Copies of this chain bind each other. A is one copy, B any other.
């Protein structure tokens, strides 16, 4: 892989821009949060997010298009067939984005002594963090990183 300095990067083609244009939207981020917490039905999202139905409808459809969510049909005995919105692999892989946002919010935006959401491990239920690792899996600090431009694979 060949790398160079980002002086003359074509910024419109940067994947951060693409990522932001897909999920850099308040409602989409909030729907993702609800999905990670476990919401799956239209009215669950609406109830939890206090959003109008038209906006919710638009955003859910957009997220289906982007393949962040998929619509899955299911049927409970005695009920009619329903469908629910589940995270796709692409959507689940936003977990680290959500966690990084959450951890930053807990550090800088949380009022002292207030309750908050925490992501924990399932062994001891203590908060988990995110660490930078190099290609060998060793941890490193942000200051030991560089921004480059290149072609992956």
Measuring CB to CB, which residues of chain A are less than 8 angstroms from any residue of chain B? 1, 3, 6, 9-11, 13-22, 24-26, 29-30, 33, 36-38, 48-49, 90, 92-110, 112-135, 137, 139-140, 142, 144-153
Contact = CB atoms under 8 A, between A and B. Distances in A.
Given A131-B133, A137-B139, 18 more contacts: A3-B120, A14-B116, A15-B102, A15-B117, A16-B101, A19-B109, A20-B26, A36-B147, A93-B104, A106-B152, A110-B152, A116-B151, A117-B148, A120-B148, A121-B134, A127-B135, A129-B132, A129-B133
B114 A151 contact: yes
Given A148-B125, A151-B114, A130 B96 contact: yes
A29 B6 CA distance: 18
Copies of this chain assembled into the complex:
2
Given A14-B33, A100-B97, A134-B124, A119 B147 contact: yes
A8 B128 CA distance: 22
